[in-house]
Chains A and B, each alone.
Chain A
Amino acid sequence: MILIISKVFALLFATIVISKGVVDYKNKNESLTMTVFWIATWLAITTVAFFPSIVDSAIALAGGSRTGLGTVLGIAIIFVLFISYRIYAKANRIEKQVNQLAKILALKDIKERK
């Protein structure tokens, strides 16, 4: 059941991210490198979701013995949470800086007049 859900979600998110990526690239809001990077990443995620044995084989090939989808999903969730946190923190910091800058510019005239 978990496997089916993860397949559905991976396919759904991959479709959304890839289509949005292509639209952003067409509208010149995203570079070709980043578009290709996200498409490749999501294609890889979808492939793993549909064929989890690939990960087992890869880990075994690298010399690992303890394999399984649970481990992979756990690592993936931690990675996603970390990335989300970093993006949110960075966006928040940039927002504060932009706001501060906008405020300084807007108040420049009134300060000079004073």
Chain B
Amino acid sequence: MASKNIHLAIVIPVYNEGRVIKEVIDTIPKKIKGVNRISVIAVNDGSVDNSAEQIKKTGACLISLPFNLGIGLATSTGMEAGKILGADILVTMDGDGQHDPRDIPKLIAPILLDSYDLAIGARLINRNDMPQVKKFGNWLMDAITYIFSGIWIKDSQSGMKALSKKALNAIEIKTSGYELCSEIIILAKKEKLKITEVPIKTIYSTHSMKKGQSPLNGLNIALKLLYKKIGG
């Protein structure tokens, strides 16, 4: 990277993750090779449990949305905060504990090397542990994303992504729900950004299994993306 003083911002959208959020934030590496500063931005998306109190205990930057507005809006708010704080690289990850923060260094490596603008953490390492219904739902969403973007991503719905400063400035998210994952890819392709996938591990706990989107949500997402394409 051209800049030597790299600031990494890690954005975590949080909705009723009081049970796990402190552990998720505490597991984030304090030092990463090639990074000088790490900021953790937790966006509390109108949680009704003790998520906010748990986040405050970690010392992370807490941003609170007035009520539950969706993972898309929480993430884009976090991305906006990253821009304000002057982040050179921004990582998004889920707050339910399904992502291993120790995967962050290898996720940001292609961006640190200036090779790519968007690195998607593809949940491929222990894919066999993924329930069949989720596998089918993800495949369906990969297909929908392909229709709208023209590129096939092995895990388009992964919440763990890394964006370069160029990508952060170019991608302006308009949607507020789960269609965010597809929208980032569609916009990245439109802006001619370089995209790669980095295999990551997924942690399937009882808590994280309850979270995420239903395969039936695919139709809803497809309709929203279609409406956005028509309506702009």
Contacts and interface: CB of A to CB of B under 8 A. Distances in A.
A107 B85 contact: no
Nearest to A93: B231
Interface in B169-224: 174, 176
Nearest to B175: A99
B90 to A, nearest CB: 14
Given A92-B231, A95-B176, A99-B176, A105 B66 contact: yes
Given A95-B176, A102-B69, A114-B85, A107 B227 contact: no
Nearest to A95: B176
A4 interface: no
A92 B227 contact: yes
Contacts of B6: none
Interface in B66-92: 66-67, 69, 73, 76-77, 80-81, 84-85
Interface in A74-114: 92, 95-96, 98-99, 102-103, 105-107, 109-111, 114
Interface range, B side: 10 to 19
Interface stretch (B57-65, B112-120, B138-146): B57-65
B227 A103 contact: no
B84 A107 contact: yes
A109 B43 CA distance: 13
A99 B73 CA distance: 7
Given A102-B65, A106-B63, A106-B66, A114 B73 contact: no
Contacts of B43: 106
B77 A107 contact: yes
Question: Residue among A92, A98, A107, A109 with the most chain B CB within 10 A?
Answer: A107
Contacts of B73: 99, 102-103
A49 to B, nearest CB: 29
A34 to B, nearest CB: 24
Contact of A106 (B77, B85, B174, B227): B77
9 contacts: A92-B227, A95-B176, A99-B176, A103-B77, A106-B43, A107-B80, A109-B63, A110-B81, A114-B84
